[in-house]
């Protein structure tokens, strides 16, 4: 069994444990993060609105569905990178931390060593996020995502993209 297979089996087992525990609260959170994405040879600015639905158990385990839509402004054109993830983690009164698999859909300008062009497609990946609430429902969120692009490309350096963003977050319990 390969390392990614073991990781997804462990993630699935943790999900079963979390689902079997009594729930404490559902939360909806949303915000806008700003950060960067490294694709090809040029890093790009990422302005990224996001939304999450989080289910927290009494023991602190959490299951979260998260979607982030990154707008990638560039002097050549505008790109988009949408990432959806399902994560497991741990929550406490003032914050949470989670990690899990993600799936990204993208259409963006990418530059290689010699030239630039638009690339489009879908990519599996991994996502990690932490949220810290310092003023009631208001807080800050930091997330990182690594997406693996399929096939070989002269444009995509190492066939991967790294996105790191940070910004304000608002949490509502339902």
Instruction: Write down the pLDDT at residue 12.
Output: 53
pLDDT at res. 154? 56
Contact 97, 89 (CB under 8 A): yes
Is the domain spanning 3-173 CATH 2.40.160.20? The answer is: yes
Per-residue pLDDT of the chain (174 residues; tens, 9 = 90+): 544 555 554 455 445 444 444 556 789 999 999 998 876 667 788 899 999 999 989 889 999 999 999 998 877 788 898 999 999 999 998 999 999 999 999 888 777 667 777 888 888 999 999 999 999 999 999 999 998 876 555 555 557 778 899 999 999 988
For the chain, the structural domain boundaries read 3-173
In this predicted structure, what is the pLDDT of residue 10? 47
Tell me the three-class secondary structure of 17-43, residue by residue: HHHHCCEEEEEEEEEEEEEEEEECCEE
Predicted confidence at residue 157, as pLDDT, reads 53
Place of tokens 């003032």: 94
How far CA 126 is from CA of 96, 118, 167, in Å, comes to 17, 23, 20
What pLDDT score was predicted for residue 156? 58
Residue pair 71/78 in contact (Cβ under 8 Å)? The answer is yes
Radius of gyration of the chain (CA): 17
pLDDT of residue 166: 94
Predicted confidence at residue 173, as pLDDT, reads: 86
Alpha helices by DSSP H, listed for the chain, are 3-20
Task: Flag whether the pTM goes above 0.85.
Answer: no
Which residue do the tokens 């790191």 mark? Answer: 164
Tell me what pLDDT residue 110 has.
74
**Confidence (pLDDT) at 43:** 78
d(CA 134, CA 98): 18
For the chain, the distance separating the N- and C-terminal CA atoms, rounded to the nearest angstrom, is: 40
């Amino acid at each position: 069994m390969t390392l990614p297979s073991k990781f997804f089996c462990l993630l699935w087992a943790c999900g079963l444990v979390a689902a079997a525990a009594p729930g404490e609260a559902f939360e909806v959170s949303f915000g806008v993060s700003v950060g960067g994405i490294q694709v090809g040879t040029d890093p790009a600015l990422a302005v990224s609105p996001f939304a999450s639905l989080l289910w927290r158990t009494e023991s602190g385990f959490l299951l979260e569905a998260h979607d982030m839509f990154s707008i990638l402004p560039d002097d050549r054109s505008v790109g988009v990178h949408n990432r959806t993830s399902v994560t497991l983690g741990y929550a406490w009164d003032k914050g949470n931390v989670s990690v899990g698999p993600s799936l990204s859909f993208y259409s963006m300008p990418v530059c290689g060593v010699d030239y630039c062009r638009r690339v489009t497609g879908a990519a599996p990946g991994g996502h990690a996020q932490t949220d810290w609430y310092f003023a009631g429902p208001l807080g800050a969120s930091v997330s990182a995502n690594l997406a693996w692009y399929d096939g070989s490309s002269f444009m995509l350096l190492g066939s991967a993209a790294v996105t790191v963003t940070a910004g304000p977050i608002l949490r509502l319990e339902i």
